Amino acid sequence: MEKEKNRVALLSVFAAIFLTGFKIIIGILTGSLGILSEALHSGLDLVAAVITYFSVRVSDKPADRQHNYGHGKIENLSAFIETVLLLVTCVWIVYEAITRLVSGNTHIEVTVWSYIVVVSSIIVDFSRSRVLYKVAKKYNSQALEADALHFSTDIWSSSVVLFGLICANFGFFFADSVAALAVALIVFFVSYRLGKKSIDVLLDKAPQESVELVKSILTEFSEVKDFHGLKIRTAGADTFVKINVHLDPDLSLLQVHEICDKIEKEIGSRIKRSEVYIHAEPQDINHIQNEEKDNL
Calculate mean pLDDT across residues 201-212: 88
Kindly state whether residues 11 and 140 are assigned to the same domain: yes
| Nearest-angstrom CA–CA distance, 155 and 159 | 6
Kindly state whether residues 279 and 256 are assigned to the same domain: yes
Kindly state whether residues 90 and 185 are assigned to the same domain: yes
Domain end residue (candidates: 202, 224, 246): 202
Kindly state whether residues 76 and 178 are assigned to the same domain: yes
Find the CATH number of the domain harbouring 66.
1.20.1510.10
Kindly state whether residues 257 and 284 are assigned to the same domain: yes
Kindly state whether residues 17 and 115 are assigned to the same domain: yes
Q: Looking at residue 146, what is its pLDDT?
A: 72
pLDDT tens, residue by residue, 125-140: 888 888 888 887 777 7
Note if the pTM is more than 0.85. no
pLDDT tens, residue by residue, 32-74: 766 777 777 677 777 777 877 777 777 767 777 777 777 778 8
* Distance from chain centroid for Cα 189: 14
Kindly state whether residues 262 and 198 are assigned to the same domain: no
What one-character DSSP code corresponds to residue 63? P
Kindly state whether residues 181 and 35 are assigned to the same domain: yes
- Which residues fall within 8 angstroms of residue 61, CB to CB, at 6 or more apart? 70, 71
Domain total for the chain? 2
Domain end residue (candidates: 173, 202, 231): 202
Kindly state whether residues 28 and 117 are assigned to the same domain: yes
The least confident of 76-85, 235-244, 262-271 is: 76-85
Kindly state whether residues 8 and 153 are assigned to the same domain: yes
Kindly state whether residues 121 and 226 are assigned to the same domain: no
Domain of residue 248, residue span: 208-295
Kindly state whether residues 191 and 218 are assigned to the same domain: no
Distances (CA, A) of 75 to 19, 57, 72, 139, 289: 24, 10, 6, 12, 43
pLDDT over 90, % of the chain: 17
pLDDT tens, residue by residue, 152-180: 777 777 777 787 778 777 777 777 677 77
- Nearest one of 155, 160, 161 to 130, comparing CA atoms: 155
